[in-house]
Amino acid sequence: MAFAALVSPQSSGWSYRERTDPIYDTVTATAEVRGPQGSRLSVSCEQPGTGSVYVWFSPDLYLGRGHEKFVAVRFDDAAPLDEERWTFAGDQAALVNNVWTVTGPMMAAGQVVVRAIADDGQQVTRAFSLRGSAATIERVYRTCRDRWPLPGGSIGG
């Protein structure tokens, strides 16, 4: 029963924000949902263009720094996705390659459970509600002018 409480998704909803660089006027975007224990799951870009969107998971615990590890992701009752390497950077893990393997399913599923294994061996598992994620993630892709993660095309300008 304790495990179920640990991974029950929060219903706080997805937020969206844009930032404009004061020097170059480039606009970046982030879609984010907060989960249990201060955790966050975000889809973001720092520099618009093809391949700029990435996903980051921040469980509010130190994971490790400067290396890549597998992170397991499970959407609803689908089989876990655990073949992508995420870059660990302190209390965050970022997926920067094959991002569509996560962002595509994020827009159709109801919940996602993410598990990372920290450098100290601790398994960190958090669940996030994906309700409302499709519109905010699509907005990030549009703002960042990146390729659409679903079959059929590019939404970026």
The per-residue pLDDT for 82 is 85
Q: Could you give the percent of the chain with pLDDT greater than 70?
A: 87
Boundaries of every domain in the chain: 2-144
Does residue 106 carry a pLDDT above 60? yes
Which H or E run contains 15?
Answer: strand 14-20
Q: Per-residue pLDDT tens for 17-35?
A: 999 989 988 888 999 999 9
Does residue 154 carry a pLDDT above 80? no
Does residue 151 carry a pLDDT above 90? no
Within 8 A by CB and 6+ apart from 79, the residues are none
Alpha helices in 12-153 (DSSP H): 100-106, 133-144
The dotted CATH code for 2-144 is 2.60.40
3-state DSSP assignment of residue 105: helix
Does residue 1 carry a pLDDT above 60? no
Contact 28, 45 (CB under 8 A): yes
Does residue 8 carry a pLDDT above 50? no
- Can you give the pTM of this predicted structure? 0.82
